[in-house]
Amino acid sequence: MEVYDSLDNYQKSDKPAIATIGTFDGLHIGHRKILRKIIQEAKGLNGESVLISFYPHPRLVLFPEKNNLRLLHSLDEKREMLEEMGLDKLLLIPFTKEFSRTPPKVFVRKILWETVGIKKIVIGYDHRFGKNRAGDIHKLQALSREFQYEVEEIPAQAIEDANVSSTKIREALFKGDVRTANAYLGYTYHFTGKVIHGEKQGRKLGYPTANIQMEYPYKLIPSNGVYFVHVQLPGSFGDKSKYGMMNIGHKPTMGEFERGIEVYLFDFQGDLYGQPLTIQMLEYLRPEQKFDSKEALVQAIDGDRDRSLDLIQRYKDRVN
């Protein structure tokens, strides 16, 4: 996959370009339906599939005072997934306030026609673009006659009558509802962080944990609680993945701590300090809570362990 980080360095080819537009945060099942469409059509025409996207996320630029937006993907995660899908080109347009004022017709003429040279544009049912989000499917259709391209709209992708969206996935994760989030995404929600030194509280309880420092500041961390997870270890370890339990929160039974992420790995011994771990979130076990004693906390963790061990067998049975 070729990646371009500006309009100026984009290399237009003689091949017909089948494109789509959007931030595509999370690359959920609706996003990937559109992407599969342009990839398949481009192959059929001996053309190229192009995603025109934006970085940073427009809301981070337009509403900086409301900077509580958290994203489902880092840019590196998005690039990796797009390449795995077989996309030919990713055009990342630097999003600025000045760029946000681009009228829809100028957007179509300068970007879609002059820069990319699209033969066809495929968009989702609710896509908006250009100044004041005035561009939509009707605008694209009206301009298609002037700039000689086709337009195709993908209707609402739904699960149990609920339209899939990045917003709904974020809402599910903020509630700890990883099952719903994973169903909407079509894959397991995950994030990557580096193992750092912590307060060593887990060792006192018989459950030594790896404390995780996030690599990407805008990555969404789900709600506080205990989760069943699958962890990808660095390549230097022979067995490159382990199941485990993860706690997100403040460890209220043990004292007053900043919100943190810590993971206990089953059947693992080794030094992970400074190493990156990718954590896949499989199941929500329970909310974080303050217990009356450390003994009561250990009893709860023992219960989390027993439930997780049962889940490990169930997940292995699915694979086998």
Nearest CA to 283 out of 225, 237, 220, 239 is that of 225
Cβ atoms of 252 and 288 closer than 8 Å? yes
Task: Report the relative pairing of strands 276-286 and 190-196 from DSSP bridges.
Answer: antiparallel
Could you give the CA distance from residue 292 to residue 76 in angstroms, rounded to a whole number? 43
What is the per-residue burial (b if ≥16 Cβ within 10 Å, else e) of 70-91? Answer: bbbbbbebbbebbeebebbbbb
Alpha-carbon dihedral 209, 215, 219, 225, rounded to 10 degrees: 10
Count of alpha carbons within 13 angstroms of residue 271, beta-carbon side: 2
**DSSP type of residue 135:** B
Nearest CA to 71 out of 59, 89, 53 is that of 59
Catalytic residues: 262
Cβ atoms of 243 and 231 closer than 8 Å? yes
Cβ atoms of 135 and 104 closer than 8 Å? yes
Residues 6+ apart with CB under 8 A from 270: 237
Residues in the chain: 320
Q: How many CB atoms lie within 10 A of CB 300?
A: 16
